[in-house]
Amino acid sequence: MSRRLQRLNVLLQQEISELIRRELRDPRLAEIVTLTEVSISPDLKAATVYVSIMGDDDEKAETIKALVHAAPFVRRQLMGRLSIRRTPDIQFTLDESMEKAAHVLDLMKHLPGTHPEA
């Protein structure tokens, strides 16, 4: 991945995170929504935004629905905030890697011969 795309991914992650935190007022959004990664296509037409959502499966599903519904709004806001030639279409995807890692760590704590860390 080029340095330009890496910088743009970080910039998009910061801006989208700020928009979700300050501009979106959808009651379907969970309390804690974390953007774990943004991956923009090389042609700048699409950006996949990976989100980690704290909550049960229903809260996750509702939050993803709310984010998908808000994607056109987020894109329009990015057009005004960023000075890039093409503002990508935004696609939100649930990222459960943090939960899986926490589950593996929890399982490791219960293995015989291991000592849980303080």
114 domain residue, yes or no: no
DSSP E strand boundaries for the chain:
33-40, 46-53, 89-94
Share of the chain above pLDDT 90, in %: 70
75 domain residue, yes or no: yes
Local confidence band at 97 (pLDDT 50, 70, 90 cut-offs): confident
21 domain residue, yes or no: yes
91 domain residue, yes or no: yes
117 domain residue, yes or no: no
Average pLDDT over residues 47-71: 95
State the CATH number of the domain containing residue 88: 3.30.300.20
Instruction: Report the number of distinct structural domains present in the chain.
Output: 1
Amino acid identity, position 79: M
118 domain residue, yes or no: no
17 domain residue, yes or no: yes
Q: Give the residue numbers spanning the domain of 34.
A: 3-109
Cβ–Cβ under 8 Å, residues 36 and 53: no
Cβ–Cβ under 8 Å, residues 49 and 64: no
Q: Which backbone phi and psi does 61 adopt, to 5 degrees?
A: -65, -45
115 domain residue, yes or no: no
User: Structure pTM?
Assistant: 0.83
Alpha-carbon torsion (75, 79, 80, 82), positive or negative: positive
